[in-house]
Structure 1
Amino acid sequence: MDAAAFQSLHTTVLWAAFAVSALFGAIAHRTHFCTMGAISDIVNMGDWTRMRMWIMAIGVAMVGFHAMAALGWIDPAQTIYYSGRVIWLSALLGGALFGFGMVLASGCGSKTLIRIGAGSLKSLVVFFVMGVAAFATLRGITAVLRDRTVDRVAFQMEPGSALPDWLAAQLGWAPATTTLIVGVGIGAVLIAWAAAGEGVQRSAQAWLAGVGIGGCAAAMWWVSGRLGFVPEHPETLEAVYLATNSGRMESLTFTAPMAYTLDWLIYFSDQNKVLTLGVVSVLGVVAGAFVHAVATRTFRWEGFAGTRDTALHIVGALCMGVGGVTAMGCTIGQGLSGLSTLSVTSAVAFAGIVLGALAGLRFQLWLLEHD
């Protein structure tokens, strides 16, 4: 591949990622897809419909990821979730901090971007605070704290922390066969469980959310891992995944990309700062939600209700920025994209997010009782 074709493919990957993330934003806005809302519905009303939507999305993404892996289209070992070093304490505490913060901030990172597209100015504040906190936890003061504390607590899994590969090594099975049986099998079970819910069976919106959101995550795996994979860079002659911040295959995630987006905006004139899959995903979700909100006449300007509302959202944004990077992902990054790989670290982070959200809901109830 010559330099011109390489650059053309790079641009194609960015546009494809923008299109997938814009579709994600439109579907999420249309269906009210929200992790915090799903947990809140269960706690406050005993309604599992939105949780089943989320589980169906995980199942769809899981089937898509492992089907592509079994076909040889993508290499599961080339994701950040594959590492054999399981930083379980970072995932658990970071996930809990993120889950607590998303309750205070009225939604997770993806929901924040969707609300911005629909006219929420307070979500714009959450975005900036969360982005700065995430950047500090990637490279700044909280990054040093993270590296010297929770990141040092881990255990090793060989050949990696993805369940199919670990089982293949333990049982002596062929990796492709194990990937197909375990990955697609578990994903199919999750879809079946979600579809069995009474609220899902009668709701086209629930099916759109489950299949659509999960399909977007799987599509992004294809964009970065198949379309964007170049076996031989025209200059370095090394294999490369185009337009990714990690240098590996990536799917939808929003905590670290918020930091990268702020970095790109602040240093826009610096030629070393280029668009990446994460940055265009952030922009795409906002664009998709905005287009749908305008088309359905649901675009509304929204501000803070008062001082306490402002303070809670800022604290929540700080918690999400620090927690999301510490856990290596948000409700979408770990709770959808990560779980689609059947990563043990992602499962721990998922549990932490749920526990943190439950604590956040209890805290909100405590505030109401003391008003």
Structure 2
Amino acid sequence: MTYEDFASAQSFLLWSTFAVALVMGAVVNKTNFCTMGAVSDWVNMGDTGRMRAWVLAIAVGVLGVMGLEAAGLVNVTNTFPPYRQNNFPWLENLLGGALFGIGMVLASGCGNKTLVRIGGGNLKSVMVFLVIAVIAYFMINPFPGSDKTLYSTLFYGWTNPTAVSLTTNQDLGAMLFAENADTGRMVMGAVIGGLLLIWAFKSAEFRSSFDNILGGLVVGLAVLAAWYITSNVMVDADGEIMSLQTYVQDWDLYAPADAVRPAAAGPLASQSFTFINPMGQSLGYATNGFDRTLLTFGIMALAGVVAGSLLWALISRSFRFEWFASVRDFFNHLVGAVLMGFGGVLAMGCTIGQGVTGFSTLAIGSILTFVAIVLGSAVTMKVQYYKMVYESEATFLKAFVTALADLRLLPAGMRKLEAV
């Protein structure tokens, strides 16, 4: 996919991203693919159907990246964000993932689900989106008249020093196979992707669920499609074929005088779907008068998911406006949105951004974030459940300890409340 000028190449990148996201948004709405719902079904009912759909999406991503990378068709090493970087901020992955997991329970869904719910007419999710957007924007961008960000003010001083500098990229193939990283990525991709696929389809109930299979397949394939598109859109600059990112970095050498230069080259690197940082990008784009130089892959992805969800809601006649049921419901969503904004940027992704896209690169930071999100959300659901059942008898500490015991993170003898 090589174009003679940058504008045409960028236009194809943005609109193809929108098209893939549109399909994903429609299918996610149709199938009720939901990562928070996956954890909720598992924790509260022992139903693993939607969890297996999520795992299927991860398996498709892992196996697809393995094959495409081996064939030289995608670049998932020099990406935006840099999943495979040799800097391993394990504490930020853990803390950010846990905060995000807690937040998505309180806010009734992850970043992707928030967009899908907006498309379906949910006004609560509009508020969640706006709060996440503000937090995500100022986690990365300085406050007006200052050089400080939320990240530098609240986190950098105590989380950054714990990061580990690795001698290789942080993906499992490079870490375990060192100089034979390419071979290692094929081996680890085949093993991990294969095991995840086997677990997903081990359940006869899952195998009979068309919606769960469709949702998992489409989300996984959408992630792969985005990896492929962003890795292969090129510009022919005076006979030299180069990526959009490289072209922008060498803008003065190749671009005509009347060409419009993007605000930054980083967001033109190879990438796939993630939804928290792009919410911040969307805020910057809107508050700067929809400046075309700020239009990115992430912004088009958000728009596509909302549009796809709206399209399905209209086709299925499921579109309906929904508002907060109570003041408490409002504050739960507000707190959840704040936690998702902080957690999603700190962990460098969400349930899709790290849980599928990042996981597909086999980066240990992404896998760690995935685990932290699941545990954070599972513990929160358990605590909510015990607080509801036992009311005044269940203090937060008792409910928390019992939740950890239920999840086998503490010995059963330490539980403070009887199982219900």
Tell me the TM-score normalized by structure 1.
0.93
Query: Displacement of 1:362 after TM fit?
Result: 2.7
Alignment partner of 1:177 is 2:207 = no
In structure 2, the CA distance between the partners of 1:350 and 1:217, relative to structure 1 (3 Å rule), is same
Q: Which amino acid aligns with 1:339?
A: F
Question: Matches of 1:89 and 1:246 in 2, distance apart?
Answer: 25
Which has the larger displacement, 358-367 or 23-32? 358-367
Are 1:347 and 2:367 counterparts? yes
Can you list the C-alpha shifts for 1:272-321, whole angstroms capped at 9, x where unaligned? x4310000001110000000110011111100001000000000000000
* C-alpha displacement of 1:77: 1.9
Provide the C-alpha distance between the structure 2 equivalents of 1:135 and 1:152, rounded to a whole number of angstroms. 23
Tell me: CA distance 1:55–1:15, structure 2 relative to 1, closer, same or farther (3 Å).
same
Which residue in the other structure is 1:142 paired with? 150
Q: Which residue of the partner structure matches residue 5 of structure 2?
A: 5
SS of the aligned residue for 1:76 comes to coil
Whole-angstrom distance in 2 between the partners of 1:214 and 1:337: 8
Shift of 1:228: 5.3
Equivalent positions of 1:273-292 (< 5 A) are 273-292=293-312
Shift of 1:161: 0.3
Partner of 1:250: 271
Superposition pairs of residues 135-214 of structure 1, within 5 angstroms: 135-140=137-142, 141-144=149-152, 145-169=154-178, 172-173=179-180, 175-214=181-220
Measure the CA separation in 2 of the matches of 1:332 and 1:48. 18
Q: How far did residue 331 of structure 1 move? A: 0.5
In the alignment, which residue of structure 1 is the partner of 2:132? 130
Select which of 223, 226, 230 maps to 2:229: 223
The aligned amino acid for 2:371 is A
Distance in 1 between residues matched to 2:310 and 2:33, nearest whole Å: 15
Find the counterpart in structure 2 of residue 61 from structure 1.
61
How far residue 143 of structure 1 moved from its aligned partner, in angstroms, is 1.3
> Secondary structure of the residue that 2:170 maps to in structure 1?
coil
Post-superposition CA distance 1:63-82 (Å, at most 9, x none): 11121110111223212101
Greater relative contact order, per chain length (Cα 8 Å cut-off, separation 6+): 1
Pairwise CA distance, 1:105: 0.2
Conserved 8 A contact 2:100-2:373: yes
Quote the Cα distance in structure 1 between the aligned partners of 2:253 and 2:388.
61
Range moving further from structure 2, 257-266 or 75-84: 75-84
1:11, 1:72 → 2: CA distance?
24
Cα distance, 1:4 vs structure 2: 5.8
Q: CA deviation at 1:126?
A: 0.5
Runs (5+) with no aligned partner, structure 2: 143-148, 236-241, 255-261, 393-420
1:258-283 deviation per Cα after TM superposition (whole angstroms, max 9, x unaligned): 01011111112545x43100000011
CA drift at 1:185? 3.2
Distance 1:190 1:124, change over 3 A: same
- Measure the CA separation in 2 of the matches of 1:119 and 1:154: 41
> SS where residue 37 of structure 2 aligns?
helix
Contact kept? 2:83, 2:361, Cα under 8 Å: yes
**Aligned residue in 1 for 2:47:** 47
Task: Kindly state the Cα deviation for residue 227 of structure 1 after the two structures are TM-superposed.
Answer: 2.6
Checking the alignment, whether the CA contact within 8 Å between 1:254 and 1:329 is kept in structure 2 is yes
- 2:359 counterpart of 1:306: no
**1:71 has 2:71 as partner:** yes
Quickly say closer, same or farther: Cα 1:89–1:43, change in 2 above 3 A: same
Could you tell me which of 88, 91, 98 is aligned with 2:90? 88
Structure 1 segment 348-363 matched on structure 2, within 5 A: 348-363=368-383
Q: How many residues align?
A: 366
Equivalent residue letter for 2:376: G
Q: Indicate how the Cα distance of structure 1 residues 14 and 228 shifts in structure 2: closer, same or farther if over 3 A, else same.
A: farther
1:243 Cα deviation from its structure 2 partner: 8.7
| CA-CA distance at 1:146 after TM superposition | 1.9
Amino acid at match of 1:207: I
The whole-number CA distance in structure 2 between the counterparts of 1:29 and 1:284 is: 13
Structure 1 vs Structure 2 CA RMSD: 2.3
1:308 and 1:329 map into 2 onto residues whose CA distance is 28
**Counterparts of 2:161 and 2:27, CA distance in 1:** 39
Q: Are residues 237 and 64 of structure 1, via their aligned partners in 2, closer, same or farther at CA, if it must alter by over 3 Å?
A: farther
Separation in 1, partners of 2:198, 2:388: 38
2 CA distance for matches of 1:250 and 1:289?
22
| Cα deviation digits, residues 47-104 of structure 1 (max 9, x gap) | 1111010001000011111211101112232121011111000000010000000000
2:29 alignment partner in structure 1: 29
| Distance of aligned partners of 1:237 and 1:354 in 2 relative to their CA distance in 1, 3 Å threshold | farther
Per the TM alignment, residue 363 of structure 1 is displaced from its structure 2 partner at its CA by 3.5
Match of 2:113 in 1: 111
Shift of 1:176: 3.0
2:285 matched residue in structure 1: 264
